Amino acid sequence: MIRPPGFNYSAEVERALRDERPVVALESTVIAHGLPRPQNLETARRLEAIVREGGATPATIAVVGGRILVGLEPAQLEHIAASRTVHKLSTRDLPVAVARGWDGATTVASTAFAAARAGLSVFATGGIGGVHRGELPDVSADLPELARTSLAVVVCSGAKSVLDLPATREWLETHGVTVVGYGCDEMPAFYARSSGLPVDARCDSPAEVAALVDARRALSMRGALLVTVPVPGEAEVSPGFLQEVLDEALAEAEREKVGGRDLTPFLLARMAEQSDGATLGANLALLESNARVAAQIAVALK
């Protein structure tokens, strides 16, 4: 196995790649910036355990001391979860982090980039970024990375509910990102199981997803296959209540002049508070569900 310059593999991931066993990439921003402590570390460990239970090897990706780590040792995972000086790194930030020796947690965009560069095929996350609300065009770096990365599959629960979902769906269509509904005919809306927005194809098994991946490879298509999995029904937040707490969070963000890369984590945190933890519970449930599906797909691809 040829290791890309600047990349370091955990012993577990290196063995899995050498033996051509399935590996699932996991992001680290959700650990460092997306979940409250100590639940963030508990969740990170749980997601890795779910991937292992599914027959694949987890590869949580982060940057420590300027080194891009593909798979974290237990102490490194604890550091990313506990440190308050961990940078939030999108793709544009990776060269800065490497050059300056930063510690950083990778977003969907930078995790997808690093996973593909490291030779991985499957990546599981919670919700992707998308087109933000408002008049100024503001598109998450996640979207163009999905359109150009060489990953086979990205498993998620759609775009985060705080975004402009119709505009996000339109962007994906325009840029040729195939959206699959895993057991569903509409693209999920993160905390909610449906958005009213169509998918390009429905798959009901890992084997069906693998067949689509094979077809894309045969056609030499660029970009990832976006597999969207609805949040488990028992954890779904009702759309009416979801809109109510989102409106409150948006109003608070406007009052406090929160914007840019700080807006989404601010809104998600406020929605968790205003919903008495309902949105947080949905987030945890969909993260676990997506990790489980991603492991199954990774095994099917092998």
Both structure tokens of 191: 């905390």
Give per-residue pLDDT as tens, 196-227.
Answer: 999 999 999 999 999 999 999 999 999 999 99
Question: How do residues 130-159 score in pLDDT, each as one tens digit?
Answer: 998 766 678 999 999 999 998 999 999 999
The answer on pLDDT for 268 being more than 90 is: no
Among the residue ranges 140-144, 174-178, 220-224, 244-248, the one predicted with the least confidence is: 244-248
Instruction: Give the single-character DSSP code of 30.
Output: I
Instruction: Please give the Cα distance from 192 to 279 (Å, whole number).
Output: 10
Look at residue 257 in the predicted model and tell me its pLDDT.
82
Mean pLDDT, rounded, for 271-286: 90
The answer to whether the beta carbons of residues 187 and 179 sit under 8 Å apart is yes
Active-site positions read: 27, 160
Dihedral through CA 252, CA 257, CA 262, CA 264, nearest 10? 40
d(CA 225, CA 212): 8
Query: What domains can be seen in the chain, in order of their start residue?
Result: 1-120 (3.40.1790.10), 125-302 (3.40.1790.10)
183: nearest Cα among 218, 240, 227: 227
Residues 74-117 have pLDDT tens digits of: 999 999 999 999 999 999 999 999 999 999 999 999 999 999 99
Q: Could you tell me where the DSSP H helices lie in the chain?
A: 11-18, 29, 39-53, 74-82, 94-100, 108-117, 142-148, 165-174, 206-218, 239-255, 263-274, 278-301
Question: How far is Cα of residue 23 from the mean position of the Cα atoms in its chain?
Answer: 15
- Compute the distance between CA of residue 199 and CA of residue 178 in angstroms, rounded to an integer: 8
d(CA 124, CA 108): 9
Q: How far is CA 254 from CA 134, 160, 250, 251, 268, in A?
A: 11, 19, 6, 5, 14
